[in-house]
Structure 1
Amino acid sequence: MPTNSRESKVPVALSQGRILQRMLRLNSVSVSVILVIILGTYLISPDVQSYLNQRREIVEMEQSIQLAKDAVVDMQAERDRWQDPVYIRSQARDRLYYVLPGEVSYLVMDSEGLDFSDTSNTLGAMLAQQRNADEISLEVSAAKANWVDSLMETLLRSAMETPVEE
């Protein structure tokens, strides 16, 4: 039975659940793309990690090279200073108390740096007590710069004193 009536299709609104299901439907192409991405990430991650480690090591080496270059520059400057006769004389004056003929050297002792409370009955304490027994005067006098006595005192103290255990 033929019908002459035309049938028209009317669009029906899909429910929210159906829309979500249609969007999440996985086909073989999307699954294969996801697998390729995961596999590529897995394969490339060790290379990226080794690259980052190498970059870190390179930065550390560059820093150590820069420190070494700075040390070389400092040593060259020190060597150049020691080539200067004026610097050598000043170092001899400071370190060895060197005095040119006709000059007078004054040595200022720091009285606040002395330890007056040493009662250990050692040779060093006895020598310090003998030195401290003299009154402090405001008059300038010539110092007895006898390095032999100082050396002997140091040798005696190191040989006879025993360390104090605390």
Structure 2
Amino acid sequence: MPEDEFHRYEIDDGVLIVSPPPGAAHQVAVLELANIVQKPARTAGLGVVPAVEVVTHRRDDWLKVPDLVVVTLDAFESEPQEYEAADVVLAVEISGNRQSRNRDFGEKLEAYAEAGIPHYWIAELVPVPRLTVFEPADGTYREVVASEEPVKLTRPFAVEIDPARLRRTRGR
């Protein structure tokens, strides 16, 4: 992909998808979520990386840039330019509008399941903050929880996430 700070590039079934860079609310949500999961992930022997390319050796026509990934510690410490999907334990997408929501609950859900990523979360910012958690089931994902309230998770590590914390509010 070309060096371009103004666009995000992904490849899906050989189709190049070009997106504008995420807005401020999106970036704040990524930063907040990274802060929430950093310590529990590290305790579980995992590393947290925002907005990095993920590829799969099984397909040359597949490249994704999840908003946040949690990877094995070996992969994290090797500081690669891109991560192999097999090293990704959790992929997270932040949805801030209808178009991103449709992609995150549609093609990305299918693509991450096909690549064998064991955990997938979608954090929606509008109309209200909501976290949806998926785990593998027969080659696809099944929804484990979808909540606007705080959620306690045990996989892939123990963490409590309040979706409301992912949305910037005045006075916080």
- Report the TM-score range of the alignment, normalised by the length of the smaller protein: under 0.3
TM-score w.r.t. the length of structure 1 is 0.18
Name which structure has the greater RCO, CA cutoff 8 Å, separation 6+. Answer: 2
From the CA coordinates, give the structure whose radius of gyration is larger. 1
TM-score normalised over the length of structure 2: 0.18
